[in-house]
Amino acid sequence: MLEEDLEIAIKIVIVGNGAVGKSSMIQRYCKNIFTKDYKKTIGVDFLEKRINLDGEDVLLMLWDTAGQEEFDALTKAYYRGAQGCVLAFSTTDRDSFEAIENWKRKVEEEVGPNIPTCLIQNKIDLIDDAVVEQDDVESLAKRLKLRFYRTSVKEDLNINEVFDYLAQQHLKKIRKEAQRETDEIQPTRQIGVFNTAGGSANKSVSNNNNGANAGRNDTITLQPNKSRVGKKKSAFFSNCTLI
């Protein structure tokens, strides 16, 4: 794990207009159930699921936010701290597609523009009733630079892939941050040839057995103790030979 014995928790918000299938999506993903009955989400619903991804134990906390404008003031508060976002629209609802950019802006106002995000076209099983052209969807995804998935909660199509992608993007992000922090705190150590303060830069040291002359030379070469290096690699050397 990235930190031994610690579970990685990722908060993901699912946003979009009402009735596009946000609640059904997290119900399918977390509980593997599906119902055709529509029930409007009042404010925010929450489910979680534990998965193992790339050898990491990950807890996904999924926040299903209401899509109606009357809940805007309430749901925006739940965007804060999100580490992944699903922008959802329905194949059979043109207005939900046209609202995607507005939903993206709302989330970014709360969490910033660098949150891992994907675009999903839900209810792809109703493609015969589609009111959104595929060229329009692909053009939007390209313009917004978003990973795009066609999903069907009913058929359980691409649901796992959506959340696996967002989790992977977050893992990549924290690994990069951890590596950058390690690089910043590691001091640079150099062992080799050094110039002494009192000598001329044009003089060099000859390899001889007269140790008494070493102090008068301008350059000294430091060599690591061979027995120490042979047992264990280290950036430090306990003994140095003056040549």
pLDDT by position in tens, the chain (length 243): 444 456 799 999 999 998 999 999 999 999 999 877 666 665 578 899 999 998 889 999 999 887 666 567 667 788 889 999 999 999 999 999 999 999 999 999 999 998 999 999 999 999 999 999 999 999 999 999 999 999 999 999 999 999 999 999 999 988 888 888 888 886 555 545 545 555 444 444 445 445 545 445 554 555 555 444 444 444 444 444 444
Which letter does DSSP use for residue 5 in this model?
T
Residue carrying the six token digits 């922090």 = 181
Find how far residue 240's CA is from the centre of its chain. Answer: 45
Which candidate, 5, 66, 8, 64, places its Cα nearest to that of 31?
64
Q: What whole-number distance in Å separates Cα of residue 171 and Cα of residue 183?
A: 18
Domain termination site, one of 132, 149, 183: 183
Phi, psi dihedral angles at 90 (to 5 degrees) = -105, 145
Same domain for 21 and 124?
yes
Q: What is the pLDDT of residue 185?
A: 81
Radius of gyration of the chain (CA): 29
Q: What is the pLDDT of residue 177?
A: 85
Same domain for 161 and 204?
no
| 164: Cβ contacts below 8 Å, ≥ 6 apart | 51, 53
Q: Assess contact for 86 and 120: CB atoms under 8 A.
A: yes
Q: What is the pTM of this model?
A: 0.71
Same domain for 161 and 236?
no
Same domain for 205 and 125?
no
Same domain for 156 and 99?
yes
Same domain for 90 and 207?
no
Q: How large is the greatest C-alpha to C-alpha distance in the chain, in angstroms?
A: 94
Number of domains in the chain: 2
Strand 117-122 relative to strand 84-90: parallel, antiparallel, unpaired?
parallel
Same domain for 168 and 219?
no
Q: Assess contact for 180 and 192: CB atoms under 8 A.
A: no
Which residues face 122 on adjacent strands?
90
Same domain for 164 and 222?
no
Same domain for 14 and 93?
yes
CATH number at residue 88: 3.40.50.300
Residue 40, SS3?
coil
Same domain for 103 and 43?
yes
User: Looking at the domain assignment, is residue 50 inside a domain?
Assistant: yes
Residue carrying the six token digits 């965007």 = 79
Q: Is the dihedral of CA 153, 156, 162, 163 positive or negative?
A: positive
Q: What is the pLDDT of residue 163?
A: 97
Same domain for 15 and 87?
yes
| 77: Cβ contacts below 8 Å, ≥ 6 apart | none
Q: What is the pLDDT of residue 5?
A: 53
Instruction: Residue 234: give the domain boundaries.
Output: 193-242
CA angle 115, 131, 33 (to 5 degrees): 60
Q: What is the pLDDT of residue 98?
A: 97
Same domain for 178 and 201?
no
